[in-house]
Amino acid sequence: MKILVASDIAEEGISKLKKEFEVDVKKGISKEEILSIIENYDGVIVRSKPNITEEIIKKGKNLKVVARAGVGLDNVDVNCCKGLGVKVVNSPQASSDSVAELAFGLMLSVSRNIARADRLTREKRWEKKSLMGYELNGKTLGIVGFGRIGRNIGRMAKACGMSLIAYDPLLTDEQIKSCEAEPVTLEKLIEKSDVITLHVPLIDSTRHMISEKEFQKMKNNAIIINTSRGGIIDEDALCKALSSGKILGAGLDVFEEEPPMNSKLLEYDNVVLTQHIGASTHEAQKRAGIMIAEEVIKALKCK
Ligand code: NAD
């Protein structure tokens, strides 16, 4: 069987695949080229790009599996795959530690003004008084979405002396309590948290789940962190909360529009912005490559 690797996948994963299949690696391949060769392949592997569209899937007469290394299937037409009996696999667990560590880094950067202190120092401005921060120790962390990443950041926060509350309507109270967090409603979480961190998928029920009403109910000086997906926070409402000084600051790895080059968020000093790099670690990419190779082997070799 033949596999097309259409993105940059870790070498360890490619070696695993080569033991089982004929593998062609074509990073950065265009849509037109995929369309012209896809019928030769039994499986295709991508990361967040390229898009595996209905047109491609229908052209792939021999396609049996579409694999996305990493989390999210936004670039794969999953419904079309289902309809045609093509399996869809991914490796969502590969980056959980990396994303949680980034979220934790953003929490520290906002609470202790790390990014701002760096900027001032480079500008040769020694302004210690303006850099007074807050400890995380003893504070309450509100985790929205208590899945893989939410639990990981909970573990880190606990070690830092924070207490945990969590909102996840798809889990039982017992499941949340077993990870040393108190289950609460979203409303309670918003009211009680010193730091709120978001770890939910972007679906209808989560789009703009943090909007004007939620910002108004937050503690004064709350911090909000989003490493999940842009669109979960209403960015206009966030800008209002930052302008009015209602919240202390925000740490954002994801944006409604990426890259956020025309966003008003770039104007605020108390926002730490990163470039959707949650999964961008050597370890996560290596794991994603190996895990996706295993998933493809399972999908093609097990009936
Ligand atoms: P997960 O599926 O393990 O956890 C998500 C949790 O959200 C689940 O427990 C689910 O029950 C819960 N949930 C679903 N709908 C909800 C709702 N309406 N309200 C509250 N909770 C709800 O997912 P994960 O691996 O922890 O990933 C979490 C998010 O992180 C995803 O959006 C993913 O796309 C994102 N992510 C970002 C990066 C990055 O580079 N920044 C990398 C990987 C993952």
- Other Cβ atoms less than 10 A from the Cβ of 30: the count is 11
Are 137 and 259 in a shared domain? yes
Q: Are 116 and 258 in a shared domain?
A: yes
Q: Residue 13: CB within 6 Å of ligand 1? A: no
Q: What's residue 10's pLDDT?
A: 95
How close is the Cα of 57 to the center of ligand 1, in Å? 27
Tell whether 11 and 138 lie within a shared domain.
no
Catalytic: 258?
A: yes
**Residue 167 alpha carbon, nearest atom of ligand 1:** 20
Show the domain range for 19.
2-90+282-301
Q: Determine phi and psi for 82, rounding to 5 degrees.
A: -55, -50
Which pLDDT score, from 0 to 100, does residue 180 have? 97
Can you give the pLDDT at residue 74? Answer: 87
Instruction: Supply the Cα-derived Rg of the chain in whole angstroms.
Output: 21
Please work out whether the CB of residue 142 comes within 6 Å of at least one atom of ligand 1: no
How large is the average pLDDT for residues 213-238?
Answer: 98
Residues 111 and 153 in one domain: yes
256 and 140 inside one domain? yes
227 lines ligand 1 (CB under 6 A): yes
- Both 193 and 104 in a single domain? yes
Q: Which of 178, 228, 258 is the best mutation target for the ligand 1 pocket, counting ligand atoms within 8 Å of the beta carbon and taking the most?
A: 228
Known active-site residue 212: no
217 with 142, same domain? yes
Question: Does residue 146's CB lie within 6 angstroms of at least one atom of ligand 1?
Answer: yes
pLDDT of amino acid 71: 86
Strand 247-252's sheet: what is its strand order?
182-183, 163-167, 140-144, 195-198, 222-226, 247-252, 271-273
pLDDT at 303: 61
Q: Of the listed 47, 151, 199, 229, which one is catalytic?
A: 229
Q: Which atom of ligand 1 is nearest to the CA of 205?
A: 18
Can you give the CATH number for the domain in which 83 is found? 3.40.50.720
Bond into 259 cis (ω within 30): yes
**Ligand 1 mutation target, pool 156, 199, 229, 252, most atoms within 8 A of CB:** 199
Give the model confidence (pLDDT) of 131-165 as tens digits.
999 999 999 999 999 999 999 999 999 999 999 99
Q: Give the global pTM.
A: 0.94
| pLDDT over 90, % of the chain | 97
Q: pLDDT tens digit string along 279-294?
A: 999 999 999 999 999 9
Percent helix, strand, coil in the chain, to 5, is 40, 20, 40
List C-alpha distances in Å: 275 to 191, 227, 261. 29, 10, 11
Indicate if the pLDDT at residue 217 is higher than 70: yes
CB 70 within 8 A of CB 96: no
